[in-house]
Chain A
Amino acid sequence: MAFFSNLSERLNHIFSKLTKHGKLTALEIKEAMREIRVALLEADVNYTVAKDFINKVSEKAQGEEILKSLTPTQQVIKIVRDELTTLMGGDNQKLNVSPKPPTIIMMCGLQGSGKTTLCGKLALKLKKENKKPLLVACDIYRPAAIDQLKVLGKSIQIEVFERGTNNPVKTVKEAIDYANKFALDTVIIDTAGRLQIDEKLMDELKEIKKAINPTEILLVIDAMIGQEAVAVSKAFNDALDVTGVVLTKTDGDTRGGAALSIRSVIGKPIKFVGVGEKLTDLEPFYPDRMASRILGMGDVLTLIDKAQEAVDEQTAKEMERKFRENSFDLNDYIEQVNSLKKMGGLKAVLSMMPGVSGKMKQLENMIDDKMLEKNKAIIQSMTAKERQNPDIINGSRRQRIAKGAGVSVNDVNTLLKQFNQSKEIMRMLKNPKAYGGKMAMMRKLMGG
């Protein structure tokens, strides 16, 4: 289950019911709005935010032009999509960079929201962008929090500045002197988790802010947060005037209500989302793309971004040449599986496809990333010659390969069959005229 998949499914269900009506009456729209409200609330959207949202959408959807329109449901979906985008903040907002280094990024948030891990993720991301980050450990309350940051820092080879359980205000000042001295251009400060109503600890954050004037103050929020999202973000923003929000743990079965509630309450953008447990699992947040994804319209733009990250240009060109010349072999297949894995696996890719994201639950059982792994194991059990020229794989070779990969001969047969089919399709795509009849047949088969 991906981020928002629950809400996505429910909204799609509501709209597909509407579509059946063709023309819409005011009553039908009202009923749909009621259902959307329940769907939002079940997705942990704040009570007041959901109410305001429904009021806005209802007002726009009751207009004459909607009721008279030939495709009223499409119009309603568009309104919902636009409002969702607005609710989440429009465009993606990048990290602010200080004109005079170092750029200082300070984290804040409740206990357990994932601040320390985020520090590591952000540091790694900045390092990849050729920045020189310094991590600063200021969580002096939770036992072993400093150790945790040090272990993280070590794993990504980024220095961690700490002064044990000394006063954090003093520590951050020293850290910045240290960064200046060693020309480190970005300072990332981990702070202790705290309740927004804990005045003493909130004062500590204010003092840190006053002492170093951070370029970014990021409020870290667990994406699974419930109705509290509003009270928490409001209190932190009131105290610190944060510059942005990061939602963590969006890879669970997250309903995403926080993403919809926070922006409208404190008016600060969500800059990143944490999408997994690995330190590379951090993505920029695009409200417009997210709105499309929620409504089952897919997120092709993010898919393209991911593909560009996973496959370098040269490999892509090489692949294209092979498709053209039809010299695509099993080695290339492995390459493709690897890229797919880098993009987060088949499920992640499919969930971004238009029309698919609302139906992920049905697909969940049909697709299996393990199948890709299995195929990879089978191919890796082949000789170089067999990979280049699968046609030579006879019965006894099949048996040997199956044994080597720990699968049944049947699995090997299935893989080879799939491979031949995809080659056939590629041949058709290359030369549609020669296969005109077949193409038409295929289109018919696929319901096109």
Chain B
Amino acid sequence: MGIFKKFFEKLKYTFKHTELDDDFYDELEALLVSSDMGVETAMDIMDELRDTCKQKLIKDTERAQAELKQILIDKLNVQDINFSYPLIITVVGVNGVGKTTTIAKMTKFFTKNKKSVLLAAGDTFRAAATEQLNTWAEKLKVKIIKQGEGADSASVVFDAITSMKAKNMDVLIVDTAGRLHTKTNLMKELEKINNVAKREYPTANFLNLIVLDASIGQNSIAQVKAFKDSVQIDGIVLTKLDGTSKGGVVYPIINDLKVPIIFTGFGEGVDDLSLFDANNFVDKILM
């Protein structure tokens, strides 16, 4: 993993200042804003840091940085994640964030944990989306339920749940069409998928995950908001963290919209997914 090595070589705090002066705070603020957390969140965090340093009589930059790291970790509000089975995961998100690849990775994650996984090709809208998921299913040796392009995605989900129940499978992962959150009709379709799933398998556990691309800016907030308007959103999968993007935009999403991060994705391979690790995440922001 050449990319990663390069990263971790750079993983050291690069502040040049020794005193807690305005320059020091400015540099930190720039760092936070550059992570895409938004200028308001960044200013709030800086205020908090200034207060903390005043209260604890901190004078050196090293301790101030440690405090900042703690504030950043606390603000992520991480809770333990437990999956209960049978589990139906519906994966939503706008076009191009990496939904299908994420589904492949989650499939690997669950099969590695000895769970049986079934996929539903619910993206009946984008050209060749079903083929893309099918290729993954073959590679990962899991079953996939699909219909043709233009089919009703709720009906694909219906078929998938029938099959899931018959074979007593643990996890069903539903792919959905990418949609710009501004398109109402496609959002309605998601509601329908959810309703069908709940009606057909009321005893299952449901998890609606939104996939967010770490390189996208403040728009991610609008994306989560819009999806939340039509369906419940239980968690975030933050993808493309293998680049230089930091994904700081999850701060306002976690704090204002109360949606936690569950997984992070960091590559195109099926193993490039892990449960969210706040410590690593914050280290990268402060890099």
- Which range contains the number of B residues in contact with the other chain? 35 or more
Whether B131 sits at the interface, judged by CB under 8 Å, is: yes
Of the A-B pairs whose beta carbons lie under 8 Å apart in the complex, a sample of 15, sorted by A's number, is A38-B40, A41-B33, A44-B36, A44-B217, A47-B34, A144-B132, A144-B134, A147-B128, A195-B242, A195-B243, A225-B217, A226-B217, A228-B36, A257-B217, A277-B183
Interface residue ranges of A413-429 to B (CB < 8 Å) = none
B181 touching A41, Cβ below 8 Å: no
Whether A132 sits at the interface, judged by CB under 8 Å, is: no
Contacting chain B: which of A248-256, A374-382, A399-407, A432-440?
A248-256
Proximity string of chain A (187-227) to chain B, C-beta cutoff 8 Å, 1 when within and 0 when not: 00000000111111000000000000000000000101111
In the A-B complex, the 3 residue pairs with the closest CB atoms: A226-B217, A112-B96, A44-B217
Whether A319 sits at the interface, judged by CB under 8 Å, is: no
Which of B213, B215, B218 contacts A255 (CB under 8 A)? B218
Proximity string of chain B (15-57) to chain A, C-beta cutoff 8 Å, 1 when within and 0 when not: 0000000000000001001111011100000000000000000
**Considering the chains assembled together, what is the distance between the CA atoms of A145 and B127 in angstroms?**
9
A42 touching B40, Cβ below 8 Å: yes
Whether A231 sits at the interface, judged by CB under 8 Å, is: yes
Which of A227, A231, A277 contacts B217 (CB under 8 A)? A227
Q: Is the interface of B mostly helix, strand, loop or mixed?
A: loop
Interface residue ranges of A93-128 to B (CB < 8 Å) = 110-114
**Considering the chains assembled together, what is the distance between the CA atoms of A143 and B129 in angstroms?**
9
Whether B182 sits at the interface, judged by CB under 8 Å, is: yes
Whether B240 sits at the interface, judged by CB under 8 Å, is: yes
- Which range contains the number of A residues in contact with the other chain? 35 or more
Whether B126 sits at the interface, judged by CB under 8 Å, is: yes
Interface residue ranges of B153-186 to A (CB < 8 Å) = 180-183
Which of B95, B136, B149 contacts A114 (CB under 8 A)? B95
Query: What B residues does A43 contact at CB under 8 A?
Result: 218
Query: What B residues does A113 contact at CB under 8 A?
Result: 96
Interface residue ranges of B246-268 to A (CB < 8 Å) = 249, 268
Query: What A residues does B38 contact at CB under 8 A?
Result: 41-42
| Given known A143-B135, A228-B245, contact A252–B182 (CB-CB < 8 A) | yes
Nearest B residue to A199 via CB reads B2
Whether A152 sits at the interface, judged by CB under 8 Å, is: yes
**Considering the chains assembled together, what is the distance between the CA atoms of A43 and B30 in angstroms?**
15
**Considering the chains assembled together, what is the distance between the CA atoms of A38 and B94 in angstroms?**
26
A142 touching B181, Cβ below 8 Å: no
A114 touching B96, Cβ below 8 Å: yes
Whether A311 sits at the interface, judged by CB under 8 Å, is: no
| Given known A110-B243, A141-B268, A143-B135, contact A232–B180 (CB-CB < 8 A) | no
Query: What A residues does B34 contact at CB under 8 A?
Result: 47, 227
Q: How far is the CB of B186 from chain A (nearest CB, A)?
A: 10
B244 touching A197, Cβ below 8 Å: yes
A143 touching B213, Cβ below 8 Å: no
Interface residue ranges of B193-233 to A (CB < 8 Å) = 213, 215-220, 222
A197 touching B222, Cβ below 8 Å: no
Query: What B residues does A112 contact at CB under 8 A?
Result: 95-98, 213, 240
A147 touching B127, Cβ below 8 Å: yes
Whether B3 sits at the interface, judged by CB under 8 Å, is: yes
Nearest A residue to B179 via CB reads A277
| Given A195-B242, A226-B245; 16 other pairs, CB 8 A cutoff | A42-B40, A111-B96, A112-B95, A143-B131, A144-B128, A148-B128, A155-B127, A222-B213, A224-B220, A225-B217, A226-B219, A227-B36, A232-B215, A252-B182, A253-B181, A253-B219
Residue picked from A144, A152, A197, most chain B C-beta under 10 Å? A144
